[in-house]
A and B are shown apart, each in its own frame.
Chain A
Amino acid sequence: MKILIIEDEIELLIAESNYLTKEGYVCEMAENFQKAGEKISIYEYDIILLDITLPDGNGLELFKTVKKYNVKAGVIIISAKNSLDDKIIGLDLGADDYMTKPFQLSELNSRIKAVLRRRQFDGSNIITFNEISLNTDSKAININGNDISFTKKEYDLLLYFIVNKNRVLTKEAIAEHLWEDNIDLADNFDFIYTHLNNIRKKIKSAGGKDYIKTIYGMGYKLGEL
Chain B
Amino acid sequence: MKFLSKINRNYFFLLLIIMIIVSVAGYFILQFIILDDARENLTQNEALIINQIIKTGEIPNIHPIVEITRINNKTVKESSFKEINMPYEGEEETFLEYSNQVKIKDSFYQITLRETTFEKDNLVILLAMSFIVLLTASFGISFFVSKKMNKTIWVDFESNLEEIENFSLSGESSLSFIQTDIEEFDRLNTVINKLTKKLKSDFVSLKEFTESASHEIQTPLAVVLLNLEEVLQQDLNKDTFEKVIASINAIKRLSNLNKSLILMTKIENNQFKADNLVSISDLFKHKIDEYSTLFESKKLNTEINIDQDFGLRINEQIADILINNLLSNAIKHNFEGGKIQIYINKNEFRICNTGEDHFLTNDNIFNRFVKGNPGSYGLGLSIVKKICESQNLNIQYEKKELHCFIIKSN
Chain A residues within 8 Å of B, Cβ to Cβ: 9, 11-12, 15-16, 18-19, 53, 80-84, 100-106, 151, 153, 167-168, 170, 172-173, 176, 181-188, 190-191, 193-195, 215-216, 218-219
Contacts and interface: CB of A to CB of B under 8 A. Distances in A.
B163 to A, nearest CB: 26
B376 A216 contact: no
Contacts of B222: 9, 12, 80, 101-103
A175 to B, nearest CB: 10
A185 B223 contact: no
A14 to B, nearest CB: 9
Contact of A182 (B252, B263, B320, B376): B320
A185 B332 contact: yes
Contacts of B331: 185, 188
B219 A181 contact: no
Interface centre among A80, A105, A172, A195 (most CB of B within 10 A): A80
Given A182-B320, A182-B324, A15 B219 contact: no
B224 to A, nearest CB: 8
A167 B332 contact: no
B390 to A, nearest CB: 15
A155 to B, nearest CB: 13
Q: Chain B: interface residue count, which band?
A: 35 or more
Contacts of A105: 226, 229-230
A115 B338 CA distance: 41
Contacts of B215: 53, 80-81, 101
A188 B375 CA distance: 8
B256 A170 contact: no
A83 B211 contact: yes
A186 B376 contact: yes
Contact of B230 (A19, A153, A216): A19
Contact of B297 (A83, A172, A194): A194
Interface centre among A15, A215, A219 (most CB of B within 10 A): A15
B234 to A, nearest CB: 9
A153 B229 contact: no
Given A168-B233, A170-B245, A15 B297 contact: no
A102 B255 contact: yes
30 contacts: A12-B222, A12-B226, A15-B227, A19-B226, A19-B230, A80-B214, A82-B262, A101-B215, A102-B218, A102-B219, A102-B225, A102-B226, A102-B252, A102-B255, A104-B226, A172-B248, A172-B249, A181-B259, A183-B294, A184-B256, A184-B376, A184-B379, A185-B294, A186-B332, A188-B332, A191-B298, A194-B296, A194-B297, A216-B241, A218-B245
Contacts of A102: 218-219, 221-222, 224-226, 251-252, 255
B410 interface: no
Contacts of A84: 272, 317
A151 B238 CA distance: 33
A4 B233 CA distance: 24
B215 to A, nearest CB: 4
Interface of B: 211-212, 214-216, 218-227, 229-230, 232-233, 238, 241-242, 245, 248-249, 251-252, 255-256, 259-260, 262-263, 272, 291, 293-294, 296-298, 317, 320, 324-325, 328, 331-332, 375-377, 379-380
Contacts of A185: 294, 328, 331-332
Nearest to A16: B226
Contact of A190 (B272, B298, B324): B298
A183 to B, nearest CB: 5
Given A11-B223, A12-B219, A12-B222, A167 B233 contact: yes
A16 B230 CA distance: 10
A15 B233 CA distance: 14
A188 B249 CA distance: 12
B242 A218 contact: yes
B328 A184 contact: yes
B76 to A, nearest CB: 109
Contacts of A176: 252
A15 B248 CA distance: 16
A15 B331 CA distance: 37
A80 B262 CA distance: 12
Given A215-B241, A219-B241, A191 B218 contact: no
A188 B242 CA distance: 17
A190 B334 CA distance: 13
Contacts of A19: 226, 230
A82 to B, nearest CB: 6
Contacts of B227: 15
B375 A186 contact: yes
A15 B256 contact: no
Contacts of B216: 80
